[in-house]
Amino acid sequence: MIYLIFAMGFAVLVTIIAIQNSMPVTINFLSWSVNTSFAIVVLASAGAGVLIALLGQWVIQLRLRLSLRQSEKRVHELEKALIKTQMLDQDIRLVEKNDI
């Protein structure tokens, strides 16, 4: 919840900065040159940052899901082994009881 509050505050701050600074700027990259509003540059940069953060979060969640799936598989295998061991233990006790 605190993350959402922080994100909303950041979005409001970026929007205020963009609205207050709407002067034209020239963006140069290699041989390209684009004339645009500074507000568009600020909003596009913030949007790109959000997309990069979401992509990073998605990768982390994917890794956690894979780890969880492996752990659940291991737990299932161990539970099966435990049941098998318990059944063998019961069989041994029955044999010992019948031998007496």
pLDDT in the model for residue 52: 92
Task: Find how far residue 25's CA is from the centre of its chain.
Answer: 36
Cα-trace Rg, the chain: 30
Structure tokens at 61: 């969640």
Calculate what percentage of the chain has a pLDDT beyond 70. Answer: 98
What is the pLDDT averaged over residues 4-18?
A: 86
Convert the pLDDT of each residue in 34-70 to its tens digit: 898 888 888 888 889 889 988 999 999 999 999 999 9
Distance CA 90, CA 95 (A): 9
| Model confidence pTM above 0.75 | no
pLDDT in the model for residue 62: 96
